[in-house]
Structure 1
């Protein structure tokens, strides 16, 4: 065997093992996840998280730009030759929850917790970048790594889009860890779902107005508590009688606040709720009818209502071609464990849907539900945790998609 052929065999072997390098740095991924888990932050302003990500990007040596509107970051990896542009996204924000996991690396911030896996998402994407960047000479095109804020508010993706993060991008991929689809899916399994994957999620606010008075003389006022009760019951008929049984839709009221004394009728009652839908037309109908039903009901009892719809994110619809592409790219990693999951999508929402309205892409799901490790708690639970043994698979999936998309 000549020196040249030996070198070629060595190169081919190295070339075929790039995603496997994520397994080699598994302990680094776990460490990053734990460090991020200790510093959860809410919404748009994530100073500690941003500083952490910046430090890691500078260690890798990749150039990045900072948003002027929030704490989001876009790192750019330009490859050796011209080609397509690929984007990956990780969300970084946490939730206003007091952690009850008892972990040695539990949140250091009171009433704030990574209870949705965003610490893992950020760590997995940083690790993928760490593996890919030294091999940029072997790839064509460009990769943008989007580190996003405010996913829990359904507002962060819109900021990155407005600032041009998707300009020139051909496809985008994201990932969610946990048991978001079904906790019976074994930990370490990837779910690739074409079409409708997650629901729209919006928040509505009803300020019911009456006329306060003493409880002993209700005829002298207009009772907003009574009005609110009728509105709540009436709104449930929208799903029951106005939405087709074949169209998934949810209308839930989770907050009601009114009154201060047992013997006094207040002047206002505050109601907040959420709607979910898998079709945009159903989403819009829910919003329209909430306002109409609430207004007419309030007027029937002599009151009024101020209605506000706080628009969140549209339904998340995966591009079929990109979903199949992702499945094929990560087949070598998951082998027989790969799942092309075709059951009912989740009614949970995700503002990754805003990216998919602009360009093709797919949002994937990595199960970390392991009852033996106690990592099968639902998202947004005070004891939520992830199976850290699967983190490297998330990073490896990003790397495998990049290799296939950019022609390594």
Structure 2
């Protein structure tokens, strides 16, 4: 009978029906190998329908401009207080040098995020500092897509300067920000957030800022930090919030939407001891991440067509496995990455294009370079990118 129930749920998903939270829970809590195989197969079929056979990737660079942060999230090994060993704050010249290096190595995107540094101000205001960050890059490289500043950073700027979220987002857009990372979502459940990130914005504020970005025409991504203290029910609640957010953008005709969903399995090796003890392991459990990723594809349905694993967190082998569990994109080259690496991730900080292409080809799928918004880039002259310079 259980298999018939699972088959009926998966059949509804294939017809394009939105699953209920209870149906999502039933899929996510399966331990039967046949049921899990059926979930995987359905997710892969939906991936083929929604995104096709081709696996995409983007040539991008991360710039984590500071790790000085006023907050103390229980999972974060990246943050430092000013004056701590390992604390850093890039100056304008360093930002420009990293940007130039990215462009020379074929990047079409710079992803820029950082800690919430109270000193990051110009003339006592936060927003002018962030605008100068943007202008430092865009005045020199106007063609680069700047994927920058999470909902948490938008709230930080607004709170420091006493501004509305819409004013902050519009100002960043005008300066040259092209899309917003959907990070700081962690798990969209306030009970979990009170343990993981008690100083961060709550669920409602994260949703409000992302929805405001969509109204103003600024695309966003979406993420979930999984595999720590959250329950399957809270994972489904998170997916339900994302699906509802995207459906609102579609139904209201907002000019921008969520472009992709990225699962970020928890890496605890260097996390603060209290959370590390509570979780009880240092690295993600691949089987759990694969099942959750497959259920995410099924649950989000046609709302979010692009799904991406994290090779930084899972390693390249884990990310390639995820391409067979519903993912259609393998992410970016990154060139450097500090937040997850400082947490003890084993995936590395840079992936050259040839390595990504060969990994995709190893499972018999074609590959395609894309830009941040999933437009195809036909010119593959950048396939010899190397990771030697940081």
Q: What TM-score comes out, normalization by structure 2 length?
A: 0.26
Higher strand share: 1
Higher helix share: 2
Rg: which structure is higher? Answer: 1
